[in-house]
Amino acid sequence: MKTWLAVLFCLLLGVQAAWAAAENRLSFDELYSGGGALGLRFSDKVLSSEGTRISIRGFMAPPLKADADFFVLTREPVALCPFCQSDSDWPDNILVVYLSEKQRFVQNNTVIEVEGDLEVGSWTDEHTGFVSQLRLRNATFHTL
């Protein structure tokens, strides 16, 4: 009887862990909890998820190359390509995604789900000089 209860307990724990993994999802609206012209504030959810694996849905901004291991994820499709046009600029709530391996560019019209290790804080990409506040490392993505 005791063994049976222990098995049930473990099973329940397992289910809970699976739920937790599914729940570790962020949305663009949850990245910042406010702030203003003098700077934005990371949300508690972002700060408590730092270093963990999370998933988030968004749109892939047009990358520099079709096959890239680095792209910018945005809340809405970006019409302008700030990499290509000198007078356009990024929205301020972007997320930079570093893929674990190169994946093909996905149409900017399509929602994608990205999973990766969340990194928080200012960081400058050594190859491009691109400065980001939030990143996903070892990431993969798929279309929905």
Partner 1 sequence: MKATVMMPLCLGMALLTAQAQAAPTIYPVDTARFLGTAKFDFKVEFDRELKESDMDVRINGKSVEDVFGAKPEFIRNEEGKGSAILLRNVSLKPGKYAVTARDGKEESVAKWDVYGTPEKAKAKNVILLIADGLSMGHRTGARLLSKGVTNGMYNGYLSMDTLPYTGMLGTCSVDSIAADSANTASAYMTGHKSSVNAIGVYADRTKDPFDDPRQETIAELLRRKTKKSIGIVSDAEIEDATPAAVVSHTRKRSEKAAIVGMFADIRPEVLIGGGSAYFLPRTVPGSKRKDEKDYVEDFRKAGYTLATTRTELLNVMEKTPDRLLGLFHTGNLDGSLDRKQLKKGTVSKFPDQPDLTDSMNAALKVLSKNPEGFFLMLEAGLVDKYSHPLDWERAIYDTIMFDKVVAQAQAFCDANPDTLLIVTGDHTHALSIIGTVDDNLPGELMRDKVGIYAAAGYPNYKDADGDGYPDSVNVSKRLAAFIGNYPDHYETYRPKLEGPFVPAVKDENGHYIANAAYKDVPGAQFVPGNLPRTESTGVHAIDDLVVGARGPNADQIHGFMNSTEVFRIMAEAMALGH
Q: Which residues bind partner 1 (CB under 8 A)?
A: 32, 34-42, 59, 62, 66, 76-81, 85-87, 89-92, 104-109, 121-122, 124, 129, 131, 133
- Tell me how far, at minimum, the Cβ of 6 lies from partner 1, in Å: 46
First to last CA, the chain: 45
Total residues found in the chain within this entry: 144
Q: Which is nearer to partner 1, 32 or 117 (CB)?
A: 32
Q: Which is nearer to partner 1, 16 or 143 (CB)?
A: 143
- Tell me how far, at minimum, the Cβ of 54 lies from partner 1, in Å: 17
Q: Which is nearer to partner 1, 1 or 79 (CB)?
A: 79
